[in-house]
Structure 1
């Protein structure tokens, strides 16, 4: 009896463990910070750019607290969005080699359980917004309940889902900006947002190249398919547009040399390296180049932070 009890108990523990692992995979937390970093960087940029724009540097202590809060919020938002995408894409994911074993489509998690976890993460994210001022919170709610809810459906109706992802994933820059200032000169904000959308189209098109053959068969639309054989040259144009808008945003915002040398120069060098070394026909290399954009995001942040630091941020 003891042996049977031990076996049954071990089985129950194993089943609980595999269920937990499956739900962690559903949120993509097993890959953290991949994905979450690309949601976070626009928020981090917004905090630092707004501080310069306000002509009164945001206190370092407040900046640190808000950066951590946005990092937590970005992680919750990314995980919530991954669950929603998997719910919306069940019929597609099963037809794509890379995604056919994801927890929901493979049956390792239930649809009901996925919805429950989705609403838990959504509620936690909205609770975080309650700590922001009214304007920042309203921008945050708008981004979550409109842009992030509609993006997963775009691959059904348009060849430009990457552009809609850009609108959604970079919306945090508005929330961060208005957390610091309500300056009437918002040209740098809008310019930076436009640049970040170009960057998102760039890196998510690279990501989508992993699945081009399967997506074409499954009926999934993407810029990776739309651009076809010209994808490298077209994405090169988006990369140049991003760098140009990044520079313009810094000029309009009054940023200093650290931003232009480290952020703009570093991003330009990193994009040049990506373009020269990217093998569009190698899914593993597409995944690696996509992942490297998280590192590039950190380079851009570093220049903004040094600009803040050496202008009296501490």
Structure 2
């Protein structure tokens, strides 16, 4: 089989520390590999040709096997990504693809995840509500003011959640093509261009910055720090650390201290908002690790890092520890803020039972079950919110 007579063209360049595998046609696979000897490269190349189909199309599974050969049998996942090759005549999507048939506004709606609203957004919004309620506990606002402020927080949470999804999809577009659940996303599938998504992102970030500049200086600095450091760099974490869910916990819940500081900027030196933020991080570790279990097999193949992969068979007991730490921070917050009985009966006990149910019943090998458990965390956050509202506005609820 020669390169001149087959649709498959392969070029291997090897040095002592580096090699590059490139296949022309539908996809291009790039991998940084350590190659000790030229002999191993030749052997791997022979294997590659032997496994190639008659029509010259290279199956991905064979690329993974050859990559392991190049790594001399080490069971290290392939750190590679599929991307469109230089030939612009080969689209990512077929002309009759359902994604191509969708109007552009619908594609951008999916890109920002607004088509599943309020799913996802509630996990940004409700921690903001926690910070607002706790900061204003000594002088709670009237119902109309409370509702108005909640609507504003919901709008901002929707905006920042949308921006986070867009930047994540821009950065992960090549990795998403390797994950079954994600490969049909608008950018990964090619239905939305990177340029168009970037413009969309910049508009959203601009609006977020404009809103944050209206706050007091303490809350503004806190909010801008979270926007650019936590939300901005989160997509890179799955390449740099096995703990991207912990970093996501900071991004998802940074609205809690920011909103707290809007109401009570003097509390910036108090440990309470920061301890509760850590507890919310532990909560995110639970629900996003469960969520990541949907993609474990694909993530291992693609070299994507996550706690779902890291924890392995210990996933349930480790998540139980994070759940316990989350509940402990809720108890601490209640004690330090002098919360009344409804806080503990509804908020803490209800949240603890929901967390216990999640950790003990989820099936890491059942993608649908993991997705449903993830969605259920909106209810968990709502239970704690109801407990806060009851404790602040109805402190004598359980007194007879």
- Give the alignment's TM-score, normalised by structure 1: 0.90
Alignment of 1:242 with 2:359, yes or no, is: no
Distance 1:16 1:226 in 2: 39
Distance 2:136 2:288 in 1: 29
Alignment of 1:108-257 (within 5 A): 108-184=191-267, 186-257=270-341
Report if the CA contact (8 A) 1:76-1:125 is conserved.
yes
Report if the CA contact (8 A) 2:238-2:306 is conserved.
yes
SS of residue matched to 2:119: coil
Report if the CA contact (8 A) 2:179-2:299 is conserved.
yes
Provide closer, same or farther for how the CA distance between residues 299 and 258 of structure 1 changes in structure 2, counting only shifts above 3 A: same
Residue of structure 2 equivalent to 1:289? 373
Alignment of 1:67 with 2:67, yes or no, is: no
Structure 1: state its 5+ residue gaps.
Answer: 1-13
Residue of structure 2 equivalent to 1:100? 183
Residue of structure 2 equivalent to 1:299? 383
Report if the CA contact (8 A) 2:294-2:366 is conserved.
yes
Aligned residues: 297
Alignment of 1:22 with 2:107, yes or no, is: yes
Once the two structures are superposed, what CA deviation does each residue of 1:138-188 show, in whole Å capped at 9, x if it has no partner? 211111111110111000010000000011111111111011113446222
Flag the structure with higher strand content.
2
Q: CA deviation at 1:64?
A: 2.4
Once the two structures are superposed, what CA deviation does each residue of 1:82-120 show, in whole Å capped at 9, x if it has no partner? 000001101110000000110001111011100011111
Q: CA deviation at 1:285?
A: 0.4
Provide closer, same or farther for how the CA distance between residues 16 and 91 of structure 1 changes in structure 2, counting only shifts above 3 A: closer
Q: CA deviation at 1:272?
A: 1.8
Q: CA deviation at 1:216?
A: 0.4
Distance 2:175 2:232 in 1: 18
Structure 2: state its 5+ residue gaps.
Answer: 1-98
Q: CA deviation at 1:129?
A: 2.1
Report if the CA contact (8 A) 1:187-1:252 is conserved.
no
RCO comparison, higher one (Cα < 8 Å, 6+): 1
Alignment of 1:91 with 2:91, yes or no, is: no
Distance 1:165 1:195 in 2: 13
Distance 1:82 1:254 in 2: 37
Distance 1:16 1:209 in 2: 31
Flag the structure with higher helix content.
1
Distance 2:127 2:321 in 1: 21
Superposed CA RMSD in Å reads 1.7
Q: CA deviation at 1:311?
A: 4.8
Alignment of 1:23-38 (within 5 A): 23-38=108-123
SS of residue matched to 1:213: helix
Distance 1:213 1:26 in 2: 24
- Give the alignment's TM-score, normalised by structure 2: 0.71
SS of residue matched to 2:103: helix
Task: Name segments (4+ residues, structure 1) moved above 6 Å.
Answer: none
SS of residue matched to 1:107: coil
Distance 2:275 2:335 in 1: 10
SS of residue matched to 2:376: helix
Report if the CA contact (8 A) 1:187-1:249 is conserved.
no
Q: CA deviation at 1:210?
A: 0.3
